[in-house]
Amino acid sequence: MLTLIFGILVGLALGLTGGGGSIFAVPLLIFGLGIAPQEAITISLAAVTLVAFIGTISAAKTGLVEYRAGAIFAAAGLVTAPFGVLIANNLEDRMILTAFSILVILVSASMWRRAGSSPQNTTVVRANFSSVDTTAGAICRFNPDNKSLRLTAPCSLVLTLAGTVTGILSGLFGVGGGFIIVPALMIITRLSIQRAVATSLFVITLIGTSGIAAAIISARKLDLAVTALFLAGGITGMLMGRKIANRIAGPLLQKTFAGMLLLVAAVTLLSH
């Protein structure tokens, strides 16, 4: 029951943020259920990937996913996610948790800053794409005739570099990387926040799948019963998020998440 409840909490966190919700999964699994860090990372990655896949299906129906930019981003991550898994397999648990805590602090600070500087963007969450602007967005350059994407070499290179970092973090910490993907897409490609969040789900699905495959190939221990319950909770949480997203999403929610992340980082640092 506790596993299911934690999965629901993670699903809600994933759905009700533009990026950064997956950070909650690993600490809940480690400190709440007593699961070893490397196994917790794999379970977290599985949950994040499945929830992202469900979100991608929803976002695709609205036409918000920018597949070409997402594919370049994801291609680099597909290659580097297994290296993140390999790095984690060769690090002591203490080092992994310390590095994870630093990452959480950075994500929390970024989330808090964005909530203050761009409050209008905090209403765009991954659980709901029913009422968003589908017209905004320009990726590097568009062909003037049909507005199709014209990928330049500099644009593709920067997307690849950002995807490389995301893939390593995904495999190393079991996170989706939306906290990197969303702002990177907005900066590099000038995508609207709506399209960046939608495209990030597509990217997370592909990169996460690569990380999971690498973890399985490396024979990392995995309790299938716990994983199944956690995944079920994650799906339930995402569906719950769709019901309440329009009513509660906003700057206050984002800052609340940011504060919770700081608490997660403190607990993680003090508990090992």
| Residue 171 tokens, joined | 């495999």
Residues 96 and 249 sit within 8 Å (Cβ to Cβ): no
Residue pLDDT, tens place only, 100-140: 999 889 888 888 888 888 887 777 777 776 544 444 444 46
- Predicted pLDDT at 195: 83
Q: Which residues of the chain have pLDDT under 50?
A: 131-139, 146
- Predicted pLDDT at 75: 93
Q: How far apart are CA 82 and CA 96, in angstroms?
A: 16
- Predicted pLDDT at 247: 81
- Predicted pLDDT at 187: 77
| Residue 123 tokens, joined | 């209403």
pTM of the model: 0.83
Q: How far apart are CA 54 and CA 58, in angstroms?
A: 7
| Residue 108 tokens, joined | 């929390």
- Predicted pLDDT at 80: 94
Q: How far apart are CA 106 and CA 20, in angstroms?
A: 10
- Predicted pLDDT at 129: 66
Residues 175 and 48 sit within 8 Å (Cβ to Cβ): yes
- Predicted pLDDT at 135: 42
> Which residue, among 172, 231, 202, has the nearest Cα to 62 in the 3D structure?
202
Residues 140 and 159 sit within 8 Å (Cβ to Cβ): no
> Taking the chain, what is the end-to-end CA distance rounded to the nearest angstrom?
26
- Predicted pLDDT at 76: 92
Where do runs of H (alpha helix) occur along 33-148?
33, 37-61, 67-89, 93-117
Name the one residue in this structure whose structure tokens are 């994500």.
107
Could you count the other beta carbons within 10 Å of the beta carbon of residue 262? 16
Length of the chain counted residue by residue: 272
Residues 171 and 83 sit within 8 Å (Cβ to Cβ): yes
- Predicted pLDDT at 144: 55
Q: How far apart are CA 198 and CA 58, in angstroms?
A: 9
- Predicted pLDDT at 206: 92
| Residue 44 tokens, joined | 């977290």
